[in-house]
Amino acid sequence: MSKLLIEGGHPLCGVLKIQGAKNSILPIMAATLVAQGECVIENCPDISDTHTALEILKTLGAQVKMFGDKVWVDCTNVIDYEIPDALMRKMRSSIIFLGAVLTRRKKALLSFPGGCELGPRPIDLHLAALEKLGVHISEEHGYLRCEAARLKGAEIHLSFPSVGATENIMLASVQAEGRTVIENAAREPEIEDLQNFLNAMGADIRGAGSSTIVIRGVESLHSVQHRVIPDRIVTATYICAVAATRGNALLKNVEPKHLSSVLSVLREAGCEIQEFDDMISVACDRLQAVRLVRTMPYPGFPTDAQAPFMSLMCVASGSTVFVETMFENRFKHIAELQRMGAKITTEGRVAVVEGVRRLSGASVDATDLRGGGALLIAALAAEGETQIGRIEHIDRGYAAPEQVLGELGAKIVRIE
C-alpha cells in the first residue's frame, strides 16, 4: 500500500494550476449516455474516480479514451443497463448513472450503493423522484430493479437540496414526455455545469444554480464538446495548505465566485486573498481562529471543505467551533489530527478546535477523501516528518498531490 512521506515546516510558495471538478465530471460522464454520438470532455482530472466512471461506461458498452485532461466517449453502441456491484461499491456516487441509464434504456439494474466513510448515504430522495417520473422500482437481494414503460415529466419537491438527487432527476427527465420542475433543487456550481453540458447537447433545461430547475423533454440529443469547471474543493484545500505553512501562492484555472463562502472565512482567519478572473492569490503570515464554521448546502460553507479548513484552524490562535450539518459521520479525520497534537473535542456533529503553536509529525491514515486532504495540510504545517497511509482515499479526488505540492516547495514523496 503506497504512502505519502512529508517533511513539514516548508512555506508553500509559487504558482499552481487547479484540476477540473471531480463532482462535475461524474454526472457529466453519466450524461454522455444520453447523447447520440461522441462527446469530448476537457479539463478532466486524472483521479481514480474519473477512471471508475470510465470503467462503468465501458461496462455498459461505451467506447472511452482518456488522453491528458481530455476524455472521449462514444455511447452509440450502449445496450447494457446493469452497473456491476463491484463498481457501485468502489464509488458511491455511481448512483448518478441511474437517471441516465433510464433515459437511455428505460430500465436499470444496480446494487444498492453501500454506505461510505461519511456514514449512511441514503438514496430515498432519488428513488421517490424517479417513481414520480414513472419509474417502477423493486428492491431485491440488495439490488434495485428499475423499469419505466415511459418517462413522464412531473413536479418534484425535494425535502432536502440533494446534489445527487437533483442531478439524477435532470438526467432522467431530459427526454421525458412534457415538463419536469424541481423545487428546492441543489444550487451547487456542478449542477449548472451539468445543465450547460446537457443544453449544449440540445436539451432544454433552465434554472440550474437556483432552487427551481425546469426541464422540458426533447426528442434527441447530439454529440458535444465541453470544458469542465475548476474543482472548488481542491482549490479550497490547497489555499488552506498555503495558509497553514505561512506561504504565498497564485492559484490558476480557478473560479473565485464558486468558493466565496470559503474565501470569506479565510479572510476572517487573517489570510490576504486577492481574486482575479480565473486566479486567486493567497498570502498568510499569522492565523486567527474563526469563531464558528457551520457547513450548509451551497452557497453556504461546503461540507467538503470542513476537514481541510479544520486542519488550518488547528494551528490558528484561538478556538473554532465546527458544526457539520450535512453528514452524520464526517469527523473521522479528527482522531488522526489528534495523533499529530491537535486539540479537538467533539460532541455529535459539533467539534471544538483549540489552536496550537505547532503540530508534530506522526504516522497517520487517511479515513476518507477530504479527511485525507486535511492530513496533507496538517503534515505540511507540522514539525518533523509525517507518514500518511490509505492514500487511495486521497487519490480519489486529488490528482498527483505530491507533484502539485512539490512544485510549491513541499518536501513530499510517494513511497510504494
Q: Is 309 in the site for ligand EPZ (CB under 6 A)?
A: no
* Positions 199 through 218 that interact with ligand EPZ (CB under 6 A): none
189 is a site residue for ligand EPZ (CB under 6 A): no
Pick the binder of ligand EPZ from 117, 193, 304, 395 (CB under 6 A). 304
Query: Of 93 and 175, which CB lies nearer to ligand EPZ in the complex structure?
Result: 93
Q: What are the residues facing 280 on neighbouring strands?
A: 251, 275
**Does position 229 bind ligand EPZ by CB under 6 A?**
no
Number of shown-chain residues binding ligand EPZ (CB under 6 A): 23
CB of 246 to ligand EPZ, least distance (A): 27
If one asks whether residue 28 binds ligand EPZ (CB under 6 A), the answer comes out as no
Sign of torsion over alpha carbons 295, 395, 185, 230: positive
Looking at 45, 217, 230, 397, which residue binds ligand EPZ (CB under 6 A)?
397
Residue pair 201/228 in contact (Cβ under 8 Å)? The answer is no
Per CB under 6 A, the list member of 162, 175, 237, 367 interacting with ligand EPZ is 162
**Is residue 234 at the binding interface for ligand EPZ, with CB under 6 A as the rule?**
no
139 touches ligand EPZ (CB under 6 A) = no
Single residue of 110, 144, 241, 326 touching ligand EPZ by CB under 6 A: 326
* 119 to 124, 365, 398: CA distances (angstroms): 15, 18, 21
Measured CA to CA, the distance from residue 162 to residue 124 in angstroms comes to 10
Q: How far is the CB of 87 from ligand EPZ (least distance, A)?
A: 14
Q: Residues 303, 306, 311, 367: which binds ligand EPZ (CB under 6 A)?
A: 303
Please select the residue that binds ligand EPZ; options are 16, 102, 123, 148, rule is CB under 6 A.
123
Please give the single-letter amino acid code of residue 287. L
Q: Name the catalytic one among 13, 75, 116, 284.
A: 116
Work out whether 300 is an interface residue with ligand EPZ (CB under 6 A): no
Grid cell of 116 as nine digits? 461510505
Residue 20 engages ligand EPZ in binding (rule: CB under 6 A) = no
CB-based closest residue to ligand EPZ: 164
> Least distance from C-beta 26 to ligand EPZ, angstroms?
5
- Contact call for residue 48 and ligand EPZ (CB under 6 A): no
Task: Write the CB contacts of 25 (distance below 8 Å, at least 6 apart in sequence).
Answer: 41, 44, 45, 49, 50, 53, 71, 228
Shortest distance in whole angstroms from residue 286 CB to ligand EPZ: 29
Alpha-carbon span 363 to 385, nearest angstrom: 8
126 binds ligand EPZ (CB under 6 A): yes
Q: Does 193 bind ligand EPZ (CB under 6 A)?
A: no
> Hey, which residues between 350 and 369 contact ligand EPZ (CB under 6 A)?
369
- Let me know: does 44 contact 71? Beta carbons within 8 Å: yes
**Grid coordinates of 263:** 474565501
Give the span between the Cα atoms of 9 and 381, in whole angstroms. Answer: 5
- Distance of alpha carbon 74 from alpha carbon 172, whole angstroms: 19
- Is 116 one of the catalytic residues? yes
- Secondary structure (DSSP) of 73-123: EE-TT----EE-HHHHHH-GGGGGHHHHHHHHHSEEEEEPPP-BTTB----
Shortest distance, position 122 Cβ to ligand EPZ, whole Å = 4
Phi, psi of 328 (to 5 degrees): -85, -10
Distance, in Å, from the CA atom of 260 to the CA atom of 393, rounded to the nearest integer, reads: 26
Grid cell, residue 39, equals 462527446
48 touches 283 (CB < 8 A): no
Q: 48-59 and 22-31 helices cross at what angle (nearest 10)?
A: 10
Active site residues: 116
Contacting residues toward ligand EPZ, per CB under 6 A: 22-23, 26, 93, 121-126, 160, 162-165, 186, 303-304, 326-327, 369-370, 397
